[in-house]
Structure 1
Amino acid sequence: MNRVIINADDFGIHGEVNKAVYIGHTYGILTSTSLLAPGPAFTEAVDMARQCPGLGTGIHLCLVGGLSPVLSPREVPTLVNEDGLFPDNYMDFIRAVYTGKVNFSEVYAELAAQIEKILATGLPVTHVDSHQHLHVLPPVWPVVTALMKKYGIHRLRLPREPYRFKIFTVPPGRMLGRDALTFLASRAARDAAKLHFSGTDYFWGMADGGRMTETKLCYLLETVPFGIHEIMMHPGCKAKELGKVFKWGYRWESELKALLSERVRAIAEKKNIAFINYGDLL
């Protein structure tokens, strides 16, 4: 029997994302989500999570995305811009890291504050992942593993989508980014095994990131090899409203529709797939 975690990222980033996570879990196949401590809609997300005891809730560590840090910007000056916000994207963060502009004691302090903010809610935490997957970036990885050990968390996302997956159908730029991430995540996975951390055997959602449709999800469930899988999703309601805030080009409503699809359910039943969350891993 294949076991599949269907995870919605960015819980807490916006009310329309929160609503989609609630609907996708209550009426669909969504089993897991990743909570953003700096998210503007964090409090609402926590309230919704409390209404969904079967929904696995992980920590979506954040150092990018134009969000405000949990700590005061004065406490983490090398992590924020003149407006007191994180850089917009991972490329800006990586550039700052490799030009020596980031103080990693601030990275440790900020990520610890994010973890503590989520733990303080009393929600059972199932795993750790990160916004734009920065937790597997080599300079960030030791900070994350140290914090996981400190707070007793041993499950995490390893975003290593197979190199050959959709090699001829994904735009070259996205393929290059996916392959670089897979390389870094594979290195992290070797270290995670030595630390006795748990993750999935397979990860899916980079090639189709923000553009997962019913048809694409059906294809994945039909073809995945034997093992434990995570499929990353980004569902949302009211795509026009979300599009005013986030310029990512995500197909928010299509992703939610896929989570609610009877066709998807039928394929999962036919393939004897069990939907689980990270809390079900050893």
Structure 2
Amino acid sequence: MKSLIVTADDFGMSIPVNEGIEASHSDGILSATSLMCGGDAFSDAVERAKRLPNLGVGLHIHLVDSRPVLPPEKIPLLVDRDGCFSNNPEWFGFNLYFSGEMRRQAEAEIEAQFQRFEGTGLVMDHINGHHHFHMHPAVTDAIAKFAPRYGSPPVRYPVEPFFPSWEAGADKPVRRLFNWALYAGLTSRMRRKLKSAGLKLNDHIFGVNDTGAMTEKRILAYLDHLPDGVTELYAHPAKRMENQPQTYGSAEEYSGMVSPVVRAKVAALGLQPLTFKAAFSA
């Protein structure tokens, strides 16, 4: 049996992102989105979510390339002089692994993000991390600690299967194989830890190898190669670029999400894009 979840990350990052996500749900195939509780357009995102009752909204834990929920003075090791998180995920992750005090501050910030989400009144559909930072042991441990207090929502498993990805993409075989091996190794502990905490994870994912390039063509190809199980297909749609990496084609991703051709393909396959909670209760 095949189940499909279609997710957009970075909800709350900016107004153009929020606009793209709302329209991708209302006019396209989008079924879920991941909310940045420290995003510049957080309040606007919450307002939009409350008028979209069928959109699954999850927590997008962010510790890099953004601003914190906690006051900067409470987490001085996580922020720069302007009160912003690091824009160097690799270096930040390395330091986080070896610094006990950084891990304590990160746990406090993650708890604050859980609490801010709860304060919206929205039901937490799922959990994932900005730049897949939920794979980091410190973040995984915090999720295992806090998620059961918030309904034990499912967590994104970010390992894109090599063969379906290669067959669909028809390019970058070395990169696709490398990412599969790397992410499989990095998530081994994460899977064990989260499952022992009673949390569920999707079986497959598409979008890791084509981040910022989930165009109509890519989406159609992935739909033709869906494996059995619960598959998440994710993108970063936006009406226009703002506060996003210059390598992202977010406007093209938005076009793919609302494409009539894509919608027809989903219908022809007999699929109904689901929220995470719906996928795991089916």
TM value normalised by structure 1: 0.91
Q: How much has 1:111 moved relative to structure 2?
A: 0.6
Counterpart Cα distance in 2 of 1:170 and 1:205: 14
Q: Render the CA deviation track for 1:12-57: whole Å, top value 9, x for unaligned.
A: 0010000000100001110000000010000000000011000000
Residue in 2 that maps onto 1:100: 99
SS class of match (1:77): coil
Task: Verify the 8 A CA contact 2:96 2:103 in the aligned structure 1.
Answer: no
Q: Does 1:9 align with 2:12?
A: no
Q: Render the CA deviation track for 1:222-273: whole Å, top value 9, x for unaligned.
A: 111121110111001123xx2xx33341111111111111211222222222
TM value normalised by structure 2: 0.91
Residue in 1 that maps onto 2:74: 75
SS class of match (2:5): strand
Residue in 2 that maps onto 1:189: 191
Q: Does 1:200 align with 2:205?
A: no
Counterpart Cα distance in 1 of 2:32 and 2:149: 23
Unaligned runs of 5+ in 2: none
Number of equivalences:
277
Task: Verify the 8 A CA contact 2:238 2:250 in the aligned structure 1.
Answer: yes
Task: Verify the 8 A CA contact 1:2 1:274 in the aligned structure 2.
Answer: no
Q: How much has 1:180 moved relative to structure 2?
A: 2.0
Counterpart Cα distance in 2 of 1:3 and 1:117: 30
Counterpart Cα distance in 2 of 1:100 and 1:178: 28
Q: How much has 1:181 moved relative to structure 2?
A: 2.5
Q: Does 1:210 align with 2:212?
A: yes
Residue in 2 that maps onto 1:38: 38
Q: How much has 1:171 moved relative to structure 2?
A: 8.0
Write the letter of the residue equivalent to 2:73. Answer: R
Of residues 162-171 and 85-94 in structure 1, the stretch that sits farther from structure 2 once superposed is 162-171
Residue in 1 that maps onto 2:275: 277
Task: Verify the 8 A CA contact 1:127 1:278 in the aligned structure 2.
Answer: yes
Q: Render the CA deviation track for 1:93-128: whole Å, top value 9, x for unaligned.
A: 113224537521111111111111111010111111
| Structure 1 residues 279 and 98, CA gap change in structure 2 (3 angstroms) | closer
Task: Verify the 8 A CA contact 1:163 1:182 in the aligned structure 2.
Answer: no
Task: Verify the 8 A CA contact 1:160 1:186 in the aligned structure 2.
Answer: no
Identity of aligned residues (%): 31
Residue in 2 that maps onto 1:259: 257
Task: Verify the 8 A CA contact 1:178 1:206 in the aligned structure 2.
Answer: no
Question: Which residue of 238, 243, 246 maps to 2:244?
Answer: 246
CA RMSD of aligned residues (A): 2.0
